A and B are shown apart, each in its own frame.
Chain A
């Protein structure tokens, strides 16, 4: 083995070189028992008792291992935890990979900085009402789909294969962007902006194609930090601002991404997105044929029913005038008998009243009074006398009786006691 600074002759076998690197880095006191701070990702505890993870922050990351029984592990440590570790550099010669051998691990806070930022963003979007906004409906027959994803990625290949099976003629524009790494956010936002311009009818006309009416943005699965661009505000804002519906199609199982929360449709993977928005052409044809069949059958039945109702009406119409006449006749009969009865009753009442009247009248006739022994006194000029007032001695008067009259002469007048 040669040490640092020694001259070698000829090419060095790689294994020896890696060994050399290992000796160099493990000897450096800076890399021994160093306290390090970062976020835990790809946290995996194996049955063997070893625990593997990556420690990361926005600048960089490194693989780490906690050998079985090396130190106590706080059970609250999980994906996204902010931790401080005490670790030494090691180099796995067989694969030439650098890793951290962890001597101690302590959680700093439950959530890593990124998780905290994501939480704040979600909170902010919720306050702004963006999480409850009305989602745009997915067109049943997309005219032009824009797919924003990693160029040449497995996810894109999966989507293309599915589209070929469902609707090979689907018009689509794939916009290849970086979906991880420091430039991913910017490229995804630019991809969304390009899709937005393709959805503009004027631009589409100039390009000689229908405007984009649906956008799929996504990528295949990966570690949380690989997918992190889909948790950042610029991507969320670009999705919210889209004039056409957007499907968030990022492959992941656990945490919901911010892009999922704001998109018009959330798919669990890119393939899932295709299955949910790209129709199967033969099924569409079948659906239309079925509509045609149902439309024909229902219309014919309606027309048949209408005809039947018409003939029933016709029959009723023919019977109707006779029924009317009969009813009228019956009415007239009832009425006339009622009139007869009423008339007779009225006539009866009238004649009874007349007889009573006659009786009263005859009772007060003067003749009847004279018959009872009274007599009526008149002056010679015929005036009926009811008082002695004005009578003179020697005046001639006439006394009327029931059967005749007698002339008489006043001899004396005498006022009754009490009379005036």
Chain B
């Protein structure tokens, strides 16, 4: 994994790969533990993302959003 925090998509893709590797078997104890830890970290990250993603609904007319953005960009 890179130092950058993975996105949810990247995290689930890596998780899939890790689980597949472990299920295929034939690796050493060290590697197993390392993969397990990485997988567990990714799982935590995904669960946090799922709850953090909850947000609100904005419904705006084009003029309203443009006015908002204009004040925010100043």
Contacts and interface: CB of A to CB of B under 8 A. Distances in A.
B57 interface: yes
Given A294-B23, A302-B22, A302-B25, A174 B58 contact: yes
Contacts of A299: 22, 32-33, 35-36, 39
Interface in A245-301: 281, 284-285, 287-288, 291-292, 294-295, 298-299, 301
Contacts of A141: 8-9, 49-50, 53
A144 B55 contact: yes
B72 A207 contact: yes
Interface string B38-74: 0110010011011001111111111001101100110
A191 interface: yes
Interface stretch (A164-172, A312-320, A359-367): A164-172
A210 interface: yes
A389 interface: no
B72 A203 contact: yes
B30 to A, nearest CB: 9
A224 interface: no
Nearest to A306: B29
B73 A197 contact: yes
B23 A187 contact: no
Contacts, number: 121
Contact of A285 (B50, B53, B59, B60): B50
Contacts of A191: 62
Interface string B1-44: 00000011100100110110011011111001101100110010
Interface string A98-141: 00000000000000000000000000000000000000010111
Given A295-B40, A306-B28, A140 B8 contact: yes
A401 to B, nearest CB: 99
Given A203-B73, A207-B72, A303-B29, A169 B43 contact: no
A173 B69 CA distance: 13
A190 interface: yes
A207 B53 CA distance: 16
Contact of B66 (A173, A190, A207): A190
Nearest to A177: B62
A327 interface: no
Given A191-B62, A291-B12, A299-B36, 12 more contacts: A142-B53, A169-B55, A172-B58, A173-B58, A173-B59, A174-B57, A174-B58, A176-B62, A187-B62, A287-B12, A288-B43, A295-B39
